[in-house]
Amino acid sequence: MLVNLRDVCAIAEQGNMAIAAFNTPSLEAVRAAIDAAEATGYPVIIQHAECHEDITPLDVMGPSMVALAERSHAQVCVHLDHCEHLSYMRRALEMGFNGVMYDGSALPYEENVANSVRAAAMCSGFDCGLECELGSLGAREGDVLSDGASAPEGGSGATYTDPVQACDFARSTGLDILACSFGTVHGLYRGEPHLSFDVLERIRERVCVPLVMHGGSGVSDDDYRKAISAGIRKINYYTYGVKYAGEAVLDLVDARRKADNSATVYWHDMTTVAYERLTADFIEVMKVFANGADPQAS
Ligand code: 13P
């Protein structure tokens, strides 16, 4: 069933947990995320990033995401991730997305505010919550997400979210949830992630809306728990899931070729293995993000 972004984050707030937000630019990923939600009993967010348009267009992915979410008995929010163009956002809203992110984090502050206000006005005619971003994770999210390249350790060029500005931003824009930068990066970590919980706690003290962690895969369970304790309610998770799925496909090909050097490996064998690996990974991380919350309570 469809549950909008505001309501899904309210469930997270009540349970002192974070909702997993999986980027799903393939049918295997959509199915894995929804099946993981059904298996664990926790709500899930499935999201399409504007920069994934070249992997699978919104016109193809969006209606499939909405249809599969509607017929599931799990609580599913269908969300647009890192949208930089309001015309693209409108298309998602008209398809039935019930969460959208306007990302003006690369723009000067005033422009980010002005466009986020426009995004909020656009959402008001729909059953849809709005996420906006302040601060930058360093490498442009779009670049990293679209080519899967590794992000620099510590996010060179990263700007942590300013807690005082975050308060003004939340008040001025009408956003429902705030994506903030406190040390995570999109893509593969080249070393240990170093998160600044101090920054996160100072944002939490000043901003009362739910907070979002981007660059959420590849972080230790301990850091996930600390981030949740400091107010993170949505964790965006992509790179490490698709890395594990890619490795599972390579293992399959290796095993088949070892048994028979000229073995044919069909595409559907690969998508099946990828789906199974993604599902297992998603179940595991959803349990960590649940932070001990009772699935019956959600
Ligand atoms: P990762 O790809 O680093 O997990 O980040 C996902 C993300 O933040 C999508 O917005």
Average pLDDT value for the chain: 93
Q: Which atom, in ligand 1's list, is nearest to the CA of 23?
A: 9
The pLDDT of residue 146 = 37
Of 133, 181, 236, best ligand 1 pocket probe by most atoms within 8 Å of the beta carbon: 236
CA of 151 to the centre of ligand 1 (A): 11
Any atom of ligand 1 within 6 Å of the Cβ of 24:
no
The CA distances from residue 180 to 95, 120, 195, 199, in Å, are 27, 18, 12, 10
Reported as a single tens digit per residue, the pLDDT across 35-70 is 999 999 999 999 999 999 999 999 999 999 999 999
Reported as a single tens digit per residue, the pLDDT across 209-249 is 999 999 999 999 999 999 999 999 999 999 999 999 999 99
Any atom of ligand 1 within 6 Å of the Cβ of 184:
no
| Residue 235, φ and ψ in degrees, nearest 5 | -120, 120
The pLDDT of residue 145 = 42
Residue 197 has pLDDT above 80, yes or no: yes
Kindly report which listed range (40-54, 131-145, 180-194, 253-267) carries the lowest average pLDDT score.
Answer: 131-145
Reported as a single tens digit per residue, the pLDDT across 265-286 is 999 999 999 999 999 999 999 9
Q: Which atom, in ligand 1's list, is nearest to the CA of 151?
A: 3
The pLDDT of residue 256 = 95
256 C-beta neighbours (distance < 10 Å), count: 15
